Homo-oligomer: A and B are copies of this chain.
Amino acid sequence: MHKKILISEVGPRDGLQNCKGVMPTEVKKRWIKGLYEAGVREIEVGSFVPPKLFPQLADTAELVEYAKTFADLRVLALVPNLRGAKAAIEAGVTSMGFPLSVSETHSEKNLRQTHDQAIENVAAIASLIADQPKEKRPEFEGALSTAFGCTIEGEIREDQVLRLAERLIEAGVDELGLSDTVGYGNPKSVRSLIRKTREVAGDDKVKSVHLHNTYGLGLANALAAYEEGIKVFDSSQGGLGGCPASPGASGNIVTEDMVYMFEMMGVETGVDLDALIKCRDYLAEGLPGEPVYGFTPNAGLPKIYR
């Protein structure tokens, strides 16, 4: 098994997007700085979406520029269309992700795009990237949302995921992420879909998983994904976040608990857990009253934690 993984902190995007309050930009910056100082090396800082619809993420461009001042920090943002992609490149993201929902109903509700429209958008974004001077080209990930099930459509068949995985690769994404947007995944389905997606898209194309903890299976699913060779794991500090278009689908994996699990297994995350837990103060400051979660912060690090 690989001895090192990358934690991709999605709290500033997936977390804040689903909170009622708006965290002040200055607090977000201190949070990002705190995460970086705790050893986090990949942060999804926002989404290039209309500020009217998502006032919580209106400062994404400013945050990308700020986060890029930390030399070895990978700075991610979501883009739902060509307009967003232009803004993301302008701001200087390391990588951008296009969230393609395998559930077409969810895609239409969330992005207002059919699958065909979404794939067209992906192709247009891929062309835009190819047209950039080399030093300005971000990485481009196709994130397969609702890949393990959908609150609206229910079951999502594996062959639907695989067909869209192929189409995303053909349309020009560099890599694929598998997202359990509503938390329906289980260790068996996680293992199976990772294997099959790799068969279709190539081993090196499936690097990351975005798992939720809606039914408490987040870490068990992460373990299964790790054992299948996944190296990048999304999670959210304090478990902030969910999906507004999927009722009841709250709950990213808590970053603190994921760091704890992997470090206890001897798998390096690069994150100082004490320092990470201190960053919860930014959540309390910037989003007073917002509930935060996590077993490890509540129990306190055990004597044997290395």
B-contacting residues of A (Cβ < 8 Å)? Answer: 149, 151, 154-155, 182-184, 186-189, 213-217, 219-220, 222-224, 248, 251, 254, 257, 260-261, 264-266, 294-296, 299-300, 302-304
Quick one: closest B residue to A239, CB to CB? B216
The binding surface of chain A is classed by DSSP as loop
Q: How many monomers of this protein are in the complex?
A: 2
Q: Which of B151, B261, B264 has a CB less than 8 Å from the CB of A302?
A: B151
Query: Which has the most chain B C-beta neighbours within 10 Å: A151, A266, A303?
Result: A303
Q: Which of A155, A214, A215, A261 has the most CB of B within 10 A?
A: A215
Could you tell me the distance in whole angstroms from the C-beta of A284 to the nearest C-beta in chain B? 20
Chain B residues, Cβ within 8 Å of A183: 299, 302
Q: Are A299 and B154 in contact (CB under 8 A)?
A: no
- Complex Cα distance, B1 from A188, in Å, reads 11
**Which of B213, B223, B295, B302 is A223 in contact with, Cβ under 8 Å?**
B223
The answer on a CB contact under 8 Å between B215 and A302 is yes
B261 touches A187 (CB 8 A): yes
Indicate if the CB atoms of A216 and B302 lie closer than 8 Å. Answer: no
Known contacts A154-B303, A155-B303, A248-B300: A216-B186 contact under CB 8 Å = no
Instruction: Pick the residue among B216, B254, B265 that contacts A295 (CB under 8 A).
Output: B216
Residues A261 and B220 in contact, CB atoms below 8 Å apart: yes
Most chain B beta carbons < 10 A, residue from A183, A216, A294, A295: A216
Chain B residue at minimum C-beta to C-beta distance from A226? B187
CB distance from A210 to the nearest CB of B (A): 17
Nearest first, the 7 closest Cβ-Cβ pairs linking A and B are A216-B295, A186-B264, A154-B303, A188-B265, A216-B257, A219-B220, A220-B220
Instruction: Establish whether residues A184 and B304, one from each chain, have CB atoms under 8 Å apart when the complex forms.
Output: yes
Residues of the B chain whose Cβ atoms lie less than 8 Å from the Cβ of A184: 302, 304
Residues of B with C-beta under 8 A to A219: 216-217, 219-220
- Residues of chain B with a CB closer than 8 A to A186's CB: 261, 264-265
CB-defined contacts of A217 to chain B, threshold 8 Å: 219, 257, 260-261, 264, 295
